[in-house]
A and B are shown apart, each in its own frame.
Chain A
Amino acid sequence: MLSIKNLHVSINDKPILKGLTLDINPGEVHAIMGPNGAGKSTLSHVLSGKAGYTVTEGSVTYQGKDLLELAPEIRAREGVFLAFQYPVEIPGVSNIYLLKAALNAMRKHHGQPEVDAMDFLTIVKSKVKLLQMDEKFLYRAVNEGFSGGEKKRNEILQAAVLEPKLCILDETDSGLDIDALRIVAEGVNSLRSPERSFLMITHYQRLLDYIEPDMVHVLAEGRIVKSGGPELALELEEKGYSWLEGKAA
Chain B
Amino acid sequence: MMTAEQSTYAYLAAYPTIAASLPGSDLSWLQQFRNAGLKAFEAHGFPNLRDEEWRYTNLAVLNKTQFAPSDNQEVDAGWLETYRLENAWNVVLINGHFSAELSDLSNLPAEVSVQSFNAALRNNAEALQTRLGKAVADDEHSLVAFNSAWFGDGVVIEIAARHQMSKPLQILHVVTASDALAATRNLLVVHDSAEAQIIETYVGSADSYFSAAVNECFLQPNAELTLYKVQAETDKACHFGGSYVKQAQNSRFMHHNFAIGGLLARSEIHSDLDVASECRLNGLYLGGNRQHIDNHTRINHLKPQGISREFYKGVLDQRARGVFQARVIVAEDAQQTDSEMNNRNLLLSNDAEIDTKPQLEIYADDVKCSHGVTVGQLDEKSVFYLQSRGVDEASARNILTFAFANEMVDKVENSELKAVLLQQLLARFPAISL
Interface residues of A (CB under 8 A from B): 48-51, 71-73, 75-77, 81-82, 84, 87-88, 90-93, 97-98, 100-102, 104-106, 109, 114, 141-142, 158, 162
Contacts and interface: CB of A to CB of B under 8 A. Distances in A.
B432 A105 contact: yes
A72 B396 CA distance: 12
A149 B98 CA distance: 61
Nearest to A83: B388
B400 A73 contact: no
B406 interface: yes
B120 interface: no
B406 to A, nearest CB: 6
A95 to B, nearest CB: 11
A157 B339 CA distance: 42
Main secondary structure of the interface of B (DSSP, over half): helix
A73 B390 contact: yes
Contact of A76 (B382, B390, B400, B431): B390
Given A73-B393, A88-B381, A92-B404, A101 B388 contact: no
6 contacts: A71-B387, A87-B385, A88-B385, A101-B386, A105-B389, A142-B385
A226 to B, nearest CB: 29
A75 B388 CA distance: 8
A88 B382 contact: yes
B426 interface: no
Contacts of B381: 88
A91 B344 CA distance: 14
Q: Which 10 A-B pairs have the closest CB atoms?
A: A92-B403, A105-B390, A102-B389, A76-B390, A72-B387, A101-B432, A73-B387, A77-B390, A102-B390, A93-B403
B235 interface: no
Given A73-B387, A102-B390, A105-B392, 17 more contacts: A49-B387, A71-B393, A73-B390, A84-B385, A90-B385, A90-B403, A91-B403, A92-B404, A97-B399, A101-B390, A104-B432, A104-B433, A105-B391, A114-B433, A141-B403, A142-B385, A158-B389
B128 to A, nearest CB: 45
Interface in B365-395: 379-382, 384-393, 395
Contacts of B385: 84, 87-88, 90, 142
Contacts, number: 83
A91 B379 CA distance: 11
Interface of B: 379-382, 384-393, 395-396, 399-400, 402-404, 406-407, 431-434
B388 A76 contact: yes
Residue among B380, B387, B388 with max Cβ neighbours from chain A (10 Å): B388
Nearest to B379: A88
Contact of A48 (B388, B403, B433): B388
Contacts of B388: 48-50, 72-73, 75-76, 81-82, 84
A162 B434 contact: no
A77 B396 CA distance: 14
A86 B99 CA distance: 59
Nearest to B389: A102
Contacts of A82: 388
Contacts of A90: 382, 385-386, 400, 403
Contacts of B390: 73, 76-77, 101-102, 105-106, 109, 162
A233 B402 CA distance: 46
Contacts of B392: 71, 73, 105
Contacts of A162: 389-390
